[in-house]
Structure 1
Amino acid sequence: MMTRELDSVSKHIENLTIHAEDATEENTLSPSTNEQKHVDFTQMPQEILVHIFSYIDADFLVNVVSLVSKYLHDILSNDQYWKMRLYKKFPQDFPIVNDSNFSMADTSKECISCWKIWKKSNGLQNNIVLSQPSGCTVDCIHLTEDRNLCICGGRDHNMTVWKLDPEPGANIDTSSEKIPQKHLNHHKGWVWSINSRPGEICSTSFDTTMKLYNMQGLEITRSIRAQAPVLCSTYVDEHTIAAGCINAKTIMVDSRSGSIIRSDNFHKRSVLKIESDSNYTVSTGEDGVLIIVDIREMKIVQKIRTRGFAMAMNSSGKQIWTGSKTGLVQVYNAKNPNRVYEAARLDYGFSGKVTALRYTSGAVYAGSTDGWLKIFQPTLKPDCLGELHLKSDGLTDISVVDKRLAVSAGNGMVTLWDPASTPPSEDPWDESA
């Protein structure tokens, strides 16, 4: 496969080869007297290669061309090349918050891939409705990282699990009736949040319980009782779950024993959203405060007053994205957890509250109570990659894995977008990108 693709690259580069002799006065070359000397493109000057690479698909450059020689690998490992390439296509600064772990090559691939899928191909128009409007609000939606399951929970106390084909694009031409589904009715109150780790699913509910399920058979493995309705949750590590409750408490749960190992009053009102890595939790509440907690010492390292309490949040790497009831999206620089500050305030044109938000290096996915789903570039002056108005009584949650997108709504509707991946074509030269 690689040999065939490299041959394709070589054929294109041969079109740029330098002829050994000048043309005749008639500006023609005689094949009998002039031989074309082929240039080894692995030895061409860097300036020429950079120009040639600008016409070649980014995935192909990273996955094929960079493996040909150390010389080519060094060029394609340079962040300055990818920054220049990305800026040429999208004259914006990427990312809003930079950090040492940031990869310009990955960002370039993601940005161009998202542009192709959502803008160039108008990808939001191609979707499948997994659940028709029922009048009963679906408050949460979750796609598992293995791409096998889509799970929603609602105010009818039930969860619905759809078994998906993990192959990108494989589900979109299938009718929803043909996608296997299973209903779980273990809760006795509204289902507020769903999360997962490999092999396990966690749901939280207004009935004050957290339920754990085996991912393969969807059997319930443990029920954990809190002191109040549990509104949000996140996996800290394989065996620890952090959750936020309506009584303003943040709890830490050992999933093996089912015991609550800590309970803290970091917020003054209901904890609406919580996310975590192995060192810190980030939570927002109805008190309008964003709180960062060092979970190694279980102490607050910073409190930030937000502009209207955040109804949606996504923490990714060194940045925190929030969506507020004012309709704005705020981005916080979290490179230093002890000094988190607002880096940007973005207006995506919503007339309602921002209730759903997911950030990736290639796109930001946002939804509002006004019924609009919008996809933007993750930049200070974002270009809209796509927007769609769903007659839905407002959007409640968004889940994104790769480019697979699921959205839940206030009228019970669940919609799935499953675009095909965008690998290099037979001809890896992609001037349109």
Structure 2
Amino acid sequence: MSLKKENEDNDVDDVSSDESYDEMDTELQLSLNTLPVEIFLHICSFLDSSTLVHRLGLVCKQFYNILRDDSLWKGRINKLWPNTRYPILPPADDDKLFWKSSCVIAERQYFLWKNLHATENLYLKDAHEACIDSLLLIDKGRVCISGGRDRMLVCWRLNETENEDKIEMHEVQGHDGWIWDITSMQNKVYSCSWDKRIHVWDYDNGQIKLLEKLPLRVAGALLCISSCSEQNLLATGSSCKLISIIDPRNHDPFVNQFRSHRGAVLNISMNTKYIISTSEDKTVSIWDQRSQRTLKSLTLSKDSYSRCVSMQPDVIYIGDNEGYVHILDVNNDFELVKSYKTQHTDVITGIHMTGGSLITSSFDSTVIISTPTDPLHTINRFPCRYGKIIKMSYLNDVLAICGGNSIEVWRPRIGDVC
């Protein structure tokens, strides 16, 4: 009996001993929220910025507070683009999320364009019988509108599901002259042409329908058009040097008309404050919509003319016919900040600043993806299979270019970019 009791006592001791070890293991067990900050940040360095911002940073207040430090995001950007200055111009003081959001965009863009296998390449052809001069992506990059010298307007719906044809096409007779530019506003598409008219189109489920024709009081062809949704206004430039501002909702659409150039207006871009235009006279003009006057006229180079514009709230990027990119500071009287010679060997025909990349296209049949830094560095460069690139459009990580009578599109593969 005594031996039995001794064994029972030993069993009790073993149980109590196991429980004590379990308690010790529990106390010594580490979790993510109990790690030292340095180790936590080291783990974060193996995760992409989007995961940190949109997932890990929302788990608890502790993670959020650690990941809100600007120095973390500045360090990641500096690692991505070493020995460069970013941004080229100081960020706005009231933008508290600048470094965090910029890092997410920068990493996303770098991954997308450095690894072209992450993109899907589509070819849109056999619709136009002549050169395509105008191109526009709408509906978050799911629809492409093109206009050409065959006077046709074509709507391409770019399907994403595997059980559907990738491309659906709808074409209509567009204008009585070459279609030279396209813009969109308030779920409508606007095209301008050598026939001196603006056509208003309704888009619905992959098809476009002509709603209205707006004849303008100009003597020359309409070469470019831009829109400002906040004001419900359009601006168009013509070969007769005039720039017209119109409100398409009115019976008499004319709002204003002015002349800021001595040559044909080649490109135009507008927002709620300014209208930026480029011309054959080699000048860039800034029109103030509030004071209704030309604020400034710039000659960026005596030997070249500006061809295309990408206007951001605080900075303007301009591409010229000699392969240079010029940067203007909106908040410093539109002063020229930098001019860069790109790897393009011919006219820059398209330019777009995304915050994480600078995208340019050219008559030299190439697209160049550059870093938005000082100095510029090339992320990738790839050719257009259809020759000279006439126009470029970019929306929601989708890039479209046209050359000849065909279009080439790059868009993220489903699941490859978060």
TM bin, normalised by shorter chain, reads 0.7 to 0.9
| CA shift in 2, pair 1:366/1:342, >3 Å | same
Q: Which has the higher helix share?
A: 2
CA separation in 1, counterparts of 2:101 and 2:416? 14
Match of 1:103 in 2: 98
Q: What CA RMSD, in Å, does the superposition of the two structures yield over aligned residues?
A: 2.5
CA separation in 1, counterparts of 2:169 and 2:50? 35
> Is residue 46 of structure 2 the alignment partner of residue 58 of structure 1?
no
Contact 1:357 1:397 in 2 (8 A): no
| CA shift in 2, pair 1:93/1:421, >3 Å | farther
Q: Return the offset for 1:135.
A: 7.0
> Is residue 234 of structure 2 the alignment partner of residue 241 of structure 1?
yes
Match of 2:249 in 1: 256
Q: Return the offset for 1:237.
A: 2.9
Range that drifts further, 68-77 or 39-48? 39-48
Q: Which amino acid aligns with 1:103?
A: F
CA separation in 1, counterparts of 2:139 and 2:73? 27
Task: In structure 1, list runs of 5 or more residues that go unmatched.
Answer: 1-30, 426-433
Task: In structure 2, list runs of 5 or more residues that go unmatched.
Answer: 1-20
* Number of equivalenced pairs: 385
Q: How does 1:28-427 map to 2 (within 5 A)?
A: 35=25, 37-91=28-82, 92-100=84-92, 101=95, 103-123=98-118, 126-131=120-125, 136-165=130-159, 170=161, 179-216=167-204, 218-226=208-216, 227=218, 228-237=220-229, 239-257=232-250, 259-307=253-301, 308-336=304-332, 339-409=333-403, 411-420=404-413
Contact 1:366 1:375 in 2 (8 A): yes
Q: Which amino acid aligns with 2:409?
A: L
CA separation in 1, counterparts of 2:79 and 2:234? 43
CA separation in 2, counterparts of 1:372 and 1:157? 26
Q: Return the offset for 1:44.
A: 4.1
- Secondary structure, aligned partner of 1:255: coil
- Give the TM-score of the pair, scaled to structure 2: 0.85
CA separation in 2, counterparts of 1:122 and 1:341? 39
Q: Which has the larger radius of gyration?
A: 2
Match of 1:15 in 2: none
Q: Return the offset for 1:424.
A: 8.0
- Secondary structure, aligned partner of 1:306: coil
Q: Which has the higher strand share?
A: 2
Contact 1:250 1:263 in 2 (8 A): yes
Q: Which amino acid aligns with 2:313?
A: G
- Give the TM-score of the pair, scaled to structure 1: 0.82
Q: Return the offset for 1:82.
A: 0.7
Q: Return the offset for 1:45.
A: 4.1
Q: Return the offset for 1:51.
A: 2.3
Q: Return the offset for 1:317.
A: 2.4
Contact 2:359 2:367 in 1 (8 A): yes
| CA shift in 2, pair 1:198/1:78, >3 Å | farther
CA separation in 2, counterparts of 1:377 and 1:408? 23
Q: Which amino acid aligns with 1:379?
A: T
